Amino acid sequence: MNEKISKTEMLYTNSVPVDKLPTIDALKLMLRDHEKGILSVRKSLRKIEKAVKLIYTHLKKNDKSKIIYCGAGTSGRIGVQDGVELYPTFGWPIERLDYILAGGKEALTKSIENSEDDVENAKLVVKNKIFKNSDVVIGLAASGNTKFTGEILKLASKNGALTIAISNNPKGYILDQAKIKIILDTKQEVIAGSTRLKAGTAQKVCLNLLSSMLMIKLGNVKEGQMINLIPANEKLKKRKLMIEKYFEEKKNE
């Protein structure tokens, strides 16, 4: 096997092939593997802590700086999933969020062929975005070798932005293009190469921890409650009232 190939692409050899197992055993195997994905995040907690502290300092320098998520395929969609929740949950301004997907917005719902290898498009995106040195760019790639994401991180770094690379491959190319390197070493998938499985789970957990802790440090959480949530529906309106009532009662104690 070529050593340059990420382990996320290799054949899973720790079990009988998943399609040869009884349904319940196959489900148990996949679940155990997802648990291993979460454990890979635990091993990188210090790196995530460092990222939170640096991002916090970076964003405090300029009230117009942005958090920008970048990726291709599943990794790009996981970035979007994390980012879009920051406004309704914490009140983080929409204009201070951005997303760079290989293949553009269309890639959210369909596969765009060859987009993850399109370095020229990455250069064009960066030219149009005009990153500021106060921006934060988070690039994700399961294989760690996505050319589009690597190019975005490289050019964003040159422009002075704070760059974070999250790779499920310890030898991923994108790690060399960022200031902060977070490795989620999830290795082989039970369905070879299907990184929507534990690699994706690890990325989702990592981003969830990172962005939630960042929002806490920025003052959007008090006594475990989302004090700046945007009440955009009936459920959130009720939650907002409950939070206000809680703090009113605390004040009167």
Active-site residues: which are they? 85, 116
Residues in the chain: 253
Task: Give whole-number Cα distances, 246 to 12, 221, 223, 231, 234, in Å.
Answer: 51, 14, 10, 16, 18
CB 167 within 8 A of CB 182: yes
DSSP track, 92-128: --GGGEEEEETT-GGGGTS--TTGGG-HHHHHHHHHH
Strand-pair partners of 232: none
Take residue 237 and report the two structure tokens written for it. 């309106």
Nearest alpha-carbon partner for 154 in 124, 179, 182: 179
Strand-pair partners of 83: none
231 vs 98: CA distance, rounded Å: 22
CB 203 within 8 A of CB 38: no
249 vs 6: CA distance, rounded Å: 55
Q: Could you give the angle at which helices 45-60 and 198-217 cross, rounded to 10 degrees?
A: 40
Residue carrying the six token digits 């945007």: 230
Strand-pair partners of 182: 166
